[in-house]
Structure 1
Amino acid sequence: MAAARVSMPGATDTNLEFADYSLYSNLSDDELMQLAIERSIADAQNSGSGTENSKTPVALNRPAGPRRAPPSNSLQQQPEPAACPANPTRETMNPQYLSSISHFMTGYGKRMVVYRKHDGSIMQVVPEPEEEIEPIVKAISEGDVGSVRLMVKQPGCNLLKPNKDGWIPLHEAAYYGQDQCIKIILRAQPGMINQRTLKEQTALMIAVTREHLACVECLLEKGADSDITNKERETPLYKACEKENPAMVAMLLNYGASVNKSCIQGWTALHESVCRNNVEICEMLMKAGAKVSMPNMYGITPIFVAAQSGKVDALRMLLKNGADLNSQAADGATALYEACKNGHEKTVEFLLSQNADANKPGKTGLLPIHIAAQRGNDSTDFFNFGCTHKNVRATNIISMLIPATSKARVRRTGISPLHLAAERNRNDILEVLIEAGFDVNAMLSEDRSMMYEDRRSTALYFAVMNNNTDASTMLLKAGANPNLDTFNPLLVALRQGCIQTATLLVEHGADVNAYIPTHPTTFPASVMFCMKYLTLLKYLMDNGCDALSCFNCVYGSNPHPPIKTRCNPRYDPDEVVEKACVQFCEVISTENYSRWAGPIIDVLLDYVGHVKLCARLNEHLDSYHEWQCIKEKAIPPRPLMQLCRQKIRKVLGIKRLKKIHRLPVPPRLIKFLKHQEREQNF
């Protein structure tokens, strides 16, 4: 049993939700209606203003006949409604009492009317008055041709009298497929043959929609106009193509139906047939003069429809009949572009075999290879059954497009397919593009880079931003430069705390002393992003990060001014923000890092010689008794071994230090130079 729904404009719906199916499945139609009424009363009382009317039960009809017992825990506590007249009285229908009238249909299809007061409470719920069925309509629906013939001859029979939907007996005969009745009616009233319903449907349109071929033939023989459209401006021929009925299409064409008439969206009968890949009907339309390149309101031609829906047979037929292979829609997309977008591998293969232009961009500037590279961007693909098949199909499309695509044309677009593949985590496509020789260091054009707040430029940045280690590895091994972006990808990896990606970038030459141009600091920004990850901090120091700059404070031992909270000019345009370099002692004094100050300073002291801690750093180390040893560690003079280690590391340089194991140097000295002479727990 479907749930009953009561709805009206401006009032809250009263629903028996579909979740209640098992609870109310034993109720009759009248009982279900009664339950909907009672719930409406309860809702009106609960949401009422507390007046006497809102508390008084509303008089309602009681369903006649015995009522079956409701399921347990369901309707046993429902109050018995008082009786009332079956039809609204003159008093209740008075406009001063009546607010609105709404309709709903029960699960058995019974139409009901709800009368409500101004406060939203229900006044009356009664069955909707059923329209009286004319005898001739009943005879037509039952196929009683003899009775129809007799009724037509009676003086009181009005064949032009419409019902509430504007249907006359001729429409009914077309609907029920009664071709003999059609002949009888038209013999009596031939002028009504093209009369339309309120939805502007002729009897011919109704017969075509219902696929009553005999009725269609009868109406056409009697002179029905085959080009009269419905409200959507669809012709009977269009509907016949939608139904994929070749016999009906042939009949309409034989009686002169206009083959190029378009619907409200600009689609012709040929558009519809191509979309359904019905080559037989397409050929019939073409022979009747259908235009193969007629666009709809969006500039979409039938060949575009065929490519979009992957209909190779229809596509082949259109090209055979002179369709323009490289025509473009209003958004600049070509048939090849759309086939790539929708992942139709066979269609792409066919279009390329017919020399489709793979270097025609859409209005966005993207080529078919771009749209194929980013296809499958929905993250749910990774959890859907058949995802592997989709990936293989997309990879095959890319492989077919590569030899047909000009790399110079790709460069002019300002974006590489590598960017899109990396952005959408399409590692399979990324691998194919790298093997094909696409530039792994291609930069986004300035206008495309400005679309991102961080001004990213390289495919490597996209991969690191997505924490995609596999993609980052592929790009770096192929020669990607990790230092081309304004915001270094290493800083992204450090901010995410991804040790694997960070070490990968450092091993391939990422700048461990990277700064942020828009937020100047007196020390490397890489230190700031890994303060909470001491293992990463030590790794950066081992690889040449500048620790000494962290101790160069402009205030030294003098008292430091209080740290100012800088306002964001985006939200406070009146606030003037000074572009002063932020110092290490200011950053470590923030709430996020102050609790880590001691261990952080301890790590940094291992990579510097003589330094003097500023007043603020001393304050941090004095705040915990356990950090006193760290403070003592910074008191000069530093041990000679520490000074020697720093000197040797500086002379050798980071590149030589990484290859020191190849030199004839004692292992103990190697460990000493790499700060591995003792285990450190962080």
Structure 2
Amino acid sequence: MNPEDEPDEDELLDLAVHLSVEEQRGFPSAPGRGRPQLVEAIQRGDMAALRELCDFPAALSEPDDGGWYPVHRAAVQPRVAVLEMLLHASSGPALEQPTLDGETPLTLAARAGLVENVELLLELGASPQNTNSSNETPLLLAVRAGSYQLVSSLIVGGALVGQRCLRKWTAMHEASRLGRVDVLELLLRSGGRVSETDQQGVTPLAIAAEHGHPEALELLIKNGADVNARAPNGDSVLSDAADSGNPECINLLLQHGADPNAPSLSCLLPIHRAAHQGNLQALRILIPLTSRRAIWLSGQSPVHSAADGGHADCLELLIQSGFDANALLVQHLAENYRDLRRSALYFAVSNGYASCTKVLLDAGAKTDLDPLHCLLVAVRSGRHEIVKLLLAAKADVNCYFNLVSDTVFPTALQYCLKDEAMMRLLLSGGYEAHKCFICDHDSERDELQQEKVTFCDFIGVSWLRHLAGGVVSVLLEYVGQVTLCSKLSAVLQTHRDWPHIHTTTCESLSNPRSLCHLSRLIIRKQLSAAGRAPAAVPLPARLRDFLLFQEAVTCPAD
């Protein structure tokens, strides 16, 4: 299971309370040790049985397997008379008795949304300021339960509206998260402040914007909330609204003076946030209001954000609005990435977004603006569809990435030795396979070539040599007559493909490559020199397929 999918403590406790409430309504439950009759009587609401059992106070002071005392079971069942009887029968501080998890009867009743039980506990002296182990107040839990009456009863009973939980989260934040305008009005009348901040420095206004609640947003603004308030990380309320994508929230903030050109500490503007989240309507609003100077100062284009988020529709809108498909990250932002990426196309390719890749390529995005070419990224990730798009856009299939290894043969082959389909894509796209057979092992070595890694040296390492036979067999289909060096031959002789390879590369003239095959190579070479791809040349279908190695043509004997 993904750790992010695991429920947190609050969710587990909510579930426990919910199940307990359901138990009181007729669902069976496993009673705690030493007091099954008492627990069953609480669940049934059997007042006669409870009167008898309450004559044995020892049973009231024993927790069950879940760490709950009888008074806690009574607090989360809907019959207030049951709770009242248990409280009067219990000895000691039953009103504030915590469970083993730190929940009091009042926090449990508030979480369960049981108004009468809460009012009874308050009437008998339970403190509305006492919190559970998460430092959550009964008032916060009542807001979360969604009960206006419960919130009102707690405030009348002395609850402090501004009391903070462990994360400095207040009832105002919780009501804003839920968009409960009625509860917010009650809290504001009772001393709630719109300027409260949680431990992240976020105000209730930002919470309402983040969760897309325009009515709550409007109420908070009317009560003096600052539409340009910013969290310590520089995020503005408008950025939070752009994240949620609610156009009503965005328009409301803009009408009250929110600044669309205010960057966060990470240099992101609201338009970047909308593009990254794929909020098309928000983007339509923000594009004409965001200054190009602000975008230039941010060092990144919203095109980067849309490509990184994988939103082709946002990319199309931005490009139609005049944004450059070839915009580059400024250097200091590119240095935040190990690969020093700079182009929007790189983000789309590296994240595997084929639709975004196509939109950018159709808009004229260049494939070679990054230190590591986009084609190499796609090949390394095994993304066949994206490789086809890049090759169709004339990406350089014979590019090199010398920072890792300086090779005689073009780099792309290194990333697909186990993927024959990908190898054939590259080879059909013009990969210079003959460079894999350039080697000086059997002659006096060229001083200029000493630092370059040849294919035979590369494939001959212990962890790759088992792939040599299959790789060389494929390469030979795309070259003319070649000679194998002694080192590569020694590696290949242990493979089952060796007889075929040896016959194909025999140095004698007894088995030359066919004229048809050699003609295909010459035609492809000439087309490549002219900057034309075989797929784009108007040729008969069979001839085009032959040039693309997609159909075998039987040639007469030479």
- TM-score per shorter chain, which class? 0.5 to 0.7
Q: What amino acid is aligned across from residue 433 of structure 1 in structure 2? A: L
Aligned-partner Cα distance in 2 for 1:675–1:250: 76
Aligned residues, how many? 488
Cα distance change on mapping 1:647 and 1:341 into 2, 3 Å: closer
Instruction: Give the corresponding residue for 1:488.
Output: 373
Deviation at 1:641, TM superposition (A): 12
Structure number, greater radius of gyration: 1
Deviation at 1:482, TM superposition (A): 0.7
Instruction: Give the corresponding residue for 2:218.
Output: 316
Instruction: Give the corresponding residue for 1:396.
Output: 281
- Asked if structure 2 preserves the Cα contact closer than 8 Å seen for 1:482 and 1:490, the reply is yes
Instruction: Give the corresponding residue for 1:212.
Output: 116
Pairs within 5 Å for 1:243-322: 246=148, 258-322=160-224
Q: Deviations over 1:264-296 (max 9, x none)?
A: 443334334333433233223323432111113
Aligned-partner Cα distance in 2 for 1:660–1:225: 81
1:600 to 448, 457, 475: 475
2:453 to 573, 582, 590: 582
Instruction: Give the corresponding residue for 1:198.
Output: 97
Aligned-partner Cα distance in 2 for 1:201–1:675: 72
Aligned-partner Cα distance in 2 for 1:401–1:233: 40
Aligned-partner Cα distance in 2 for 1:343–1:501: 29
Q: What amino acid is aligned across from residue 369 of structure 1 in structure 2? A: I
Q: Deviations over 1:600-625 (max 9, x none)?
A: 2463227xxxx876444676899526
Deviation at 1:553, TM superposition (A): 2.4
Q: What amino acid is aligned across from residue 297 of structure 1 in structure 2? A: Q
1:591 to 418, 443, 466: 466
Aligned-partner Cα distance in 1 for 2:192–2:245: 29
Tell me if 1:439 matches 2:331.
no
Pairs within 5 Å for 1:68-467: 108-112=29-33, 177=80, 196-199=95-98, 210-212=114-116, 219=123, 228-231=129-132, 241-242=143-144, 246=148, 258-375=160-277, 394-446=279-331, 448-450=333-335, 452-467=337-352
* Structure 1: runs of 5 or more not aligned: 1-105, 114-126, 144-157, 186-191, 376-390, 561-577
SS for the counterpart of 1:604 is: coil
Instruction: Give the corresponding residue for 2:357.
Output: 472
Q: Deviations over 1:181-227 (max 9, x none)?
A: 99xx9xxxxxx9x994223999998997642399569949xxx6976
1:539 to 428, 433, 440: 428
Instruction: Give the corresponding residue for 2:14.
Output: none
- Asked if structure 2 preserves the Cα contact closer than 8 Å seen for 1:299 and 1:330, the reply is yes
The answer to which structure has the higher helix fraction is: 2
SS for the counterpart of 1:428 is: helix
Q: What amino acid is aligned across from residue 96 of structure 2 in structure 1? A: T
- Asked if structure 1 preserves the Cα contact closer than 8 Å seen for 2:122 and 2:128, the reply is no
Aligned-partner Cα distance in 1 for 2:297–2:357: 25
Cα distance change on mapping 1:529 and 1:358 into 2, 3 Å: same
Q: Which moved more, 1:351-360 or 1:301-310?
A: 351-360
Aligned-partner Cα distance in 2 for 1:462–1:293: 38
- Asked if structure 1 preserves the Cα contact closer than 8 Å seen for 2:310 and 2:348, the reply is yes
- Asked if structure 2 preserves the Cα contact closer than 8 Å seen for 1:312 and 1:350, the reply is yes
Q: What amino acid is aligned across from residue 286 of structure 1 in structure 2? A: L
Deviation at 1:475, TM superposition (A): 0.9
Cα distance change on mapping 1:243 and 1:640 into 2, 3 Å: closer
Aligned-partner Cα distance in 2 for 1:586–1:264: 61
Deviation at 1:483, TM superposition (A): 1.1
Q: What amino acid is aligned across from residue 198 of structure 1 in structure 2? A: Q
Aligned-partner Cα distance in 2 for 1:489–1:515: 12
Deviation at 1:675, TM superposition (A): 9.7
- Asked if structure 2 preserves the Cα contact closer than 8 Å seen for 1:621 and 1:631, the reply is no
Q: Deviations over 1:472-517 (max 9, x none)?
A: 2211121111111222222344456666544543443422331111
Q: What amino acid is aligned across from residue 487 of structure 1 in structure 2? A: L
* Structure 2: runs of 5 or more not aligned: 1-26, 52-56, 64-68
Instruction: Give the corresponding residue for 1:654.
Output: 529
Tell me if 1:523 matches 2:394.
no
Instruction: Give the corresponding residue for 1:31.
Output: none
Instruction: Give the corresponding residue for 1:624.
Output: 499
The normalised TM-score by structure 1 is: 0.55
- Asked if structure 2 preserves the Cα contact closer than 8 Å seen for 1:464 and 1:493, the reply is yes
- Asked if structure 1 preserves the Cα contact closer than 8 Å seen for 2:235 and 2:265, the reply is yes
Aligned-partner Cα distance in 2 for 1:275–1:466: 32
- Asked if structure 1 preserves the Cα contact closer than 8 Å seen for 2:234 and 2:263, the reply is yes
Cα distance change on mapping 1:163 and 1:502 into 2, 3 Å: closer
- Asked if structure 2 preserves the Cα contact closer than 8 Å seen for 1:458 and 1:485, the reply is yes
Deviation at 1:260, TM superposition (A): 3.0
Instruction: Give the corresponding residue for 1:155.
Output: none
Cα distance change on mapping 1:604 and 1:499 into 2, 3 Å: farther
Tell me if 1:555 matches 2:441.
yes
Q: What amino acid is aligned across from residue 456 of structure 2 in structure 1? A: C
Identity %: 30
SS for the counterpart of 2:325 is: coil
